[in-house]
Copies of this chain bind each other. A is one copy, B any other.
Amino acid sequence: MSLRAANPVWLGLDIGGTKIAVVLMDQELRPLSGEIFPTQTADADALVAGIETAVCAALTAAQVTAGQITAVGVGVPGLVNPATGEVHLAVNLNLQHYPLGTVLTERLNAPVYLENDVRMAALGAFQYVQQQKPVSNLAYLSIGTGVSAGLILDGQLYRGSHGMAGEIGHIIVDPAGEMCACGLRGCLETIIAGPAIARQWQAACADFDDEKEITAVSVYNAAQQGDPSAQTVIEHVSTTIARAIQWLVMAYDVEHIVFGGGVAKSGAAFLDPVLHALAKLSAGSPLAQTMLDAEKMMLLPSDYNAATWGSILLARKNHKPGLSTEI
């Protein structure tokens, strides 16, 4: 009997623009080890070498060998083709038309399943919510450097015809608004993405110290500490997020919206103004009050890595034992 068959493990990877998170789990989905390494984005070789380093560290920490890996799930921040394992475009990883799935399959000597990172996180969020109560439909709204939604519809991951379903960051909110990097004007991302939140506060503060690094988190912190200009920015951002939530709920009729991404990491400082904006938006409408009930809006615990969970769940779901590379 092979070692793999004896003590098989699953590997989940979440490759972000700055960090790679790796998790190893056993057959019963008990975590064996977890590692976080910086992402190498100089070129594809550096990226892959960095992934190998992270995986080796996780294997060592869990005292398992590469041969025990049954399958690997990999979340990638970009447009991927799960069928071919190709990354079409991942700007933050400096990748375009790169066969990441094939390369990692060779290096790790195990089947590799790729998917967009927000979809992986949606699968992870779905698993988390399912453990509390049965649900069928859920949207994972990721607000970070970019904005997009991962969708579980009728219990299944929904990708759309070109893997673009849920790419709501480029939905036009304000036709007279700011130019977006995509070439449109007034996209959702130009208001609620992390860099946009920072930019709006910077613009609101005339005497701003240019040297100071502003992030969305620092705007949320300042708003909580009573800074009026930061509060104005967060109110505008939250009102726009409430509109995006209304679209998601009316479009998909989901039971839950789960928030993720760097901006949502501000926790209650993020969620409270969003709930306030939703209540204000719904005030005159019984339909909106029902559809946008605060109970539907969820943050995951900060120690639950939805994307690595989702990566392992996807690998488990897609893996056909007959196709594994037995040692």
Interface, chain A (partner B; CB < 8 A): 135-137, 153-154, 156, 158-168, 170-172, 175, 182-185, 239, 243, 246-248, 250-255, 281-282, 284-288, 291
Contacts and interface: CB of A to CB of B under 8 A. Distances in A.
Nearest to A188: B250
B166 A158 contact: no
Given A183-B287, A184-B284, A253 B160 contact: yes
Contacts of A255: 161
Contact of A161 (B136, B239, B251): B136
Nearest to A290: B162
A287 B182 contact: yes
A244 to B, nearest CB: 10
A192 B158 CA distance: 29
A172 B135 CA distance: 27
Contacts of A285: 170, 182-184
Nearest to A159: B253
Contacts of A166: 250-251, 253
A172 B281 contact: yes
A257 B185 CA distance: 23
A251 B252 contact: yes
Give the oligomeric copy count: 2
23 contacts: A137-B160, A153-B158, A154-B156, A160-B252, A163-B253, A165-B251, A165-B252, A166-B250, A166-B251, A168-B250, A170-B250, A170-B285, A170-B287, A171-B246, A182-B285, A182-B288, A183-B287, A184-B281, A184-B288, A247-B247, A248-B251, A251-B251, A251-B252
Contact of A168 (B165, B185, B251, B288): B251
A288 B170 contact: yes
Contacts of A156: 154
A246 B162 CA distance: 15
B158 A154 contact: yes
A91 B156 CA distance: 33
A259 to B, nearest CB: 18
| Chain A to chain B: the 5 pairs with minimum beta-carbon distance, closest first | A160-B253, A183-B285, A183-B284, A165-B253, A164-B253
Contact of A183 (B135, B165, B246, B286): B286
Contacts of A170: 250, 285, 287-288
A286 B248 CA distance: 24
A288 B186 CA distance: 13
Contacts of A135: 161
A182 B248 CA distance: 18
A137 B156 CA distance: 15
B254 A160 contact: yes
B182 A161 contact: no
Nearest to A179: B284
A124 B7 CA distance: 51
A107 B211 CA distance: 78
